[in-house]
Structure 1
Amino acid sequence: MTALALTLTVVTLALAGAMAGFFYAYSMSVMWALDAVDPKVAIASMQSINIVVRNAIFFPAFFGTPVVALIAAGLWRAQGLHNVALLLAVAAIAYLIGTFLVTILLNVPMNERLARTTPPVEIEAARTIWESYSIPWTLWNHIRTASSFATLMLTGWALYLAGRHAPTWS
């Protein structure tokens, strides 16, 4: 069972890292790039991004991170490594609140409103629409980024403690 718990902890680390990098890239490049172009182009580009992001590569990492973390936590707890289990449970909770719920309750509704928007011909009207989307969307994305990195760090800490407390993997 230790090998399975270790494997799932490493998988959690990889998934959390993928999500942290995904959201970080948006916060530190994608949204800046879209803010720098014609707002009509930014609107159309983000509409396209929001369609293609729903895919078989993104979904396992987005939905699987907290699930795998909680399963690993349960396995570590069953082996008596309560501190490792606690770190993984906290990592899952941080992800669920700061990444998953923020996405579902805030970013997705903003994306859906933008999807129903036809970019106006007038550039100032488009700029108003884009800025009313981009500013709050990016703020909430920073929260998702921080939460995903917290999940990553907590999982790394759990992995470190697991290695210290269970040096012989059987």
Structure 2
Amino acid sequence: MLFRVPLFLSLLFSAAIFGFFYAWVCSTMWGLDQTPPEVAIQAMNAMNRSVRNAVFAPAFFGTPLVLVVTAAWVWVSGRRAAAMWLVAAVLVYLLGAFVPTVMINVPMNQALMLTDLSQPTQVLAEIWTAYSSTWQISNIARTVASGVALLLVGAALLPATARGPNTEL
């Protein structure tokens, strides 16, 4: 029974980060794109400052840790197939969501913070359009990667919770 706890935590953490990235894809950025550029820049900067919090950190930083611990637990328990699904999930998340966030989105966010909002609206519109389009492409990639990681965790649940010879929970 204790075996299921880390699996369900892996599922929860993976779902939380997928949902976070997904919300940006289907609402936040589209809404910002429909506002005046100075408002979009101010709002994005405010969101980027506020996202550094105790609610977001466990989902973003904790997901790979929970996945690794769960993979190890599952491996040691003899459920090798499930462990491999979890290893795949952590690799997909790290390479497809975590690294791009650190290497692309965060530097873009930091650069946007330096935008002088006293510039003419046309200049701010050009800055926002360039930022938003590039940021959204990276975010779609993060969303897909974290969604695939979530599916891989789901796939790990199947062999890990199967009942049969040598698979008793």
Which stretches in structure 1 are left out of the alignment for 5+ residues? none
* Shift in Å, 1:6: 1.9
* Shift in Å, 1:117: 1.0
Q: What does 1:51-130 correspond to in 2, within 5 Å?
A: 51-130=49-128
| Rounded Cα–Cα distance in structure 2 between residues aligned with 1:132 and 1:37 | 15
* Shift in Å, 1:122: 1.7
Which stretches in structure 2 are left out of the alignment for 5+ residues? none
Q: Which residue in 2 is equivalent to 1:43?
A: 41
| Rounded Cα–Cα distance in structure 2 between residues aligned with 1:66 and 1:160 | 20
| Rounded Cα–Cα distance in structure 2 between residues aligned with 1:143 and 1:28 | 13
Q: Report sequence identity in percent.
A: 38
* Alpha-carbon displacement from aligned partner over 1:100-122 (angstroms, at most 9, x marks no partner): 00000000000000011122442
Code of the residue aligned with 2:4 in structure 1: it is L
| Rounded Cα–Cα distance in structure 1 between residues aligned with 2:79 and 2:163 | 8
The ranges of structure 1 where at least 4 consecutive aligned residues each deviate by more than 6 angstroms after the TM superposition are none
| Rounded Cα–Cα distance in structure 2 between residues aligned with 1:145 and 1:69 | 17
Q: Which residue in 2 is equivalent to 1:150?
A: 148
Q: Does 1:164 align with 2:162?
A: yes
Question: How many residues in Structure 1 have an aligned counterpart in Structure 2?
Answer: 167
Scaled by the length of structure 2, what TM-score is found? Answer: 0.94
